[in-house]
Amino acid sequence: MAGRTISEKILARKSGQDAQAGDLVVCEVDCALGTDGSVPMALDYFKAMGGKNVHDSARLVFALDHYVPPASPQTIELHRVMQDFAKRFGVTLHEAGEGIGHQLIVETGRALPGSLVVGADSHAVTYGALNCFATGIGSSDLAAIMLCGRMWLRVPDSIRVVLTGELPSGVYAKDIALALAGRLGADGAAYQALEFAGPGLATLTLEDRLVLSNLAVEMGAKTGIFPADEETVAYLEGRTSQAFEPIAPDPDASYSRTVEIALDALPPQIALPHLVDQVVPLENAAGTPVQMVYLGTCTGGRLRDFHQARAVLEAGGGVAPGVQLVVTPASREVRDAMAADGTLDALVGFGATVVEPGCGSCCGTCGVIPADGVSVISTANRNFKGRMGNAKASIYLASPAACAATATRGAVTDPREVSR
């Protein structure tokens, strides 16, 4: 029997049968996240399916993150419907302001190595960083999981992404992810898993890996999965009391293709409006005027991201006149840590508008919206036209340090120029 990839092994474990790329399997879901962007519809489907009781409420997590704070009677009602349901059936619910659901799944130790964790939101792929098979689903699939605890999946082919070397100063996980999106294209990994490998992995912190897994869906991937190592185990310490069993790929596993990225040779990257795969070396876009800088989201809203941004802002003497800096920590845990170590005060001192933890401006459903004609540089994952709530704005995507460097000059700037 040929060897198996991480995805094949996890889906075999969760379906109780041998699973090979291309097979259709029905799997037990270990944990499913729903947000205020997806649960209200899921509850409608659940009722229509004849749902009376939740199969296993311990496997469900709701997060109010897309409408924070709820600023209309309609969004208040969406939250109330979820709160009522969660209370009635004993589902864990994270209130508005606690953070982005994906970040909370990771922080609360819900994403365990070797498990199957899904979310009714496309960026559920983020948890792949913790060696779980993590993928996005819609509201109807979430409703079915609420009803029976299971879902069907086609076992994906895997693309092996081999990272070698170590990132040079001024280059970050976001640059790896953007470079990969540029190389594979927006559908280059459609229906497939990205499986990260290579000696470069050991140089990446868990927060770095979350960035790579998060962006996997922008290449069409079903999941972006890492092997587990000491870093994974160390992150989970104190976050879970549950036992877990990491899954490694077999040495003779079969891959649809292998892509290698030499981290040493990687320069800062930028995605140009309005597609995530329109990626060029950042120097090609240097000097492009920018009026809004956004630091936040499930891609770039963690403590490490704000530390990197703060260091560049300090080196560059703060935010240039005419630039709006907006900050949204990914969770309350992140914000509290920023408050404790002075990062929050430093950013406020630079004139940042700080928004409650949540999805913020990322998809235009809450937070600060860019004005007509404005160019935004953002630590987020998507730059589609209208993504941030205004189709007349243009969005560039880059690392937190590159966004901060750009803030200091009001034009796209290589972070290595500012920190020198």
Partner 1 sequence: MTALRGRARLVGDDVNTDSIISSTRKRESLDPAVLKQFLFEHVDPAFAASVQPGDILVAGKNFGCGSAMEVAVTTVLGAGIPAVLARGFSRTYYRNAINNGLLPLVCDTAGISEGDILIYDGTGAIRNERSGETLSPDPLPPIMLAILRAGGLVPYMRQNGDFKL
- Options 10, 134, 144, 201; binder of partner 1; rule CB under 8 A: 144
Q: Which helix (H) or strand (E) holds 394?
A: strand 394-397
Angle (nearest 5°) at CA 127 between 189 and 11: 70
| 216 part of the interface to partner 1, by CB under 8 A | no
| 255 part of the interface to partner 1, by CB under 8 A | no
Structure token digits, residue 311: 């260091």
3-state secondary structure at position 65: coil
Least distance to partner 1, CB of residue 151, Å: 7
| 357 part of the interface to partner 1, by CB under 8 A | no
**Contacts of 243 by beta carbon, 8 Å cutoff, 6+ apart:** none
- 8 A C-beta contact, residue 62 and residue 145: no
Please tell me the distance from the alpha carbon of residue 346 to that of residue 179, in angstroms, as a whole number: 31
Break the chain down into helix, strand, coil percent, rounded to 5. 40, 20, 40
Mask for 327-356, x = binds partner 1 (CB under 8 A): ------------------------------
3-state secondary structure at position 42: helix
| 386 part of the interface to partner 1, by CB under 8 A | yes
Please tell me the distance from the alpha carbon of residue 260 to that of residue 256, in angstroms, as a whole number: 14
Compute how many other C-beta atoms are within 10 angstroms of the C-beta atom of residue 417.
17
| 140 part of the interface to partner 1, by CB under 8 A | yes
Please tell me the distance from the alpha carbon of residue 258 to that of residue 311, in angstroms, as a whole number: 35
Mask for 3-32, x = binds partner 1 (CB under 8 A): ---------------------xxx------
| 186 part of the interface to partner 1, by CB under 8 A | yes
| 74 part of the interface to partner 1, by CB under 8 A | yes
- 8 A C-beta contact, residue 32 and residue 143: no
| 382 part of the interface to partner 1, by CB under 8 A | yes
- Candidate ranges 5-13, 47-55, 197-205, 285-293; the one touching partner 1 (CB under 8 A): 47-55
Number of residues that bind partner 1 (CB under 8 A): 51
Least distance to partner 1, CB of residue 378, Å: 15
Least distance to partner 1, CB of residue 330, Å: 18
Task: State the amino acid at position 372 in one-letter form.
Answer: D
Our CB check for partner 1 shows the closer of 140 and 205 to be 140
Least distance to partner 1, CB of residue 384, Å: 5
What's phi and psi for 295, nearest 5 deg? -115, 115
- Options 58, 190, 234, 340; binder of partner 1; rule CB under 8 A: 190
- Site of tokens 């913790």: 130
- Options 220, 224, 249, 367; binder of partner 1; rule CB under 8 A: 220
Please tell me the distance from the alpha carbon of residue 23 to that of residue 217, in angstroms, as a whole number: 21
Least distance to partner 1, CB of residue 389, Å: 5
Our CB check for partner 1 shows the closer of 24 and 371 to be 24
Our CB check for partner 1 shows the closer of 102 and 409 to be 102
| 235 part of the interface to partner 1, by CB under 8 A | no
| 148 part of the interface to partner 1, by CB under 8 A | yes
Closest among 364, 366, 355 to 330, alpha carbons compared: 355
- Options 387, 398, 401, 404; binder of partner 1; rule CB under 8 A: 387
Burial degree of 295 (CB within 10 A; 0-12, 13-18, 19+): buried
- Options 99, 101, 114, 136; binder of partner 1; rule CB under 8 A: 136
Least distance to partner 1, CB of residue 222, Å: 6
| 141 part of the interface to partner 1, by CB under 8 A | yes
- Options 151, 261, 271, 376; binder of partner 1; rule CB under 8 A: 151
Least distance to partner 1, CB of residue 138, Å: 4
Contacts 24+ apart (CB under 8 A), 320-324: 320/407, 320/408, 320/409, 320/410, 321/410, 322/291, 322/410, 323/290, 323/291, 323/292, 323/293, 323/407, 323/410, 324/291, 324/292, 324/293, 324/353, 324/368
| 194 part of the interface to partner 1, by CB under 8 A | no
| 102 part of the interface to partner 1, by CB under 8 A | no
- Candidate ranges 36-44, 96-104, 263-271, 290-298; the one touching partner 1 (CB under 8 A): 36-44
3-state secondary structure at position 384: coil
Structure token digits, residue 258: 């292998």
Query: Rule CB under 8 A: which residues touch partner 1?
Result: 24-26, 37-38, 40-41, 44-45, 48-50, 66-67, 72, 74-75, 120-122, 136-141, 143-144, 147-148, 150-152, 154, 186-187, 190-191, 220, 222, 275, 363-365, 382, 384-387, 389, 391
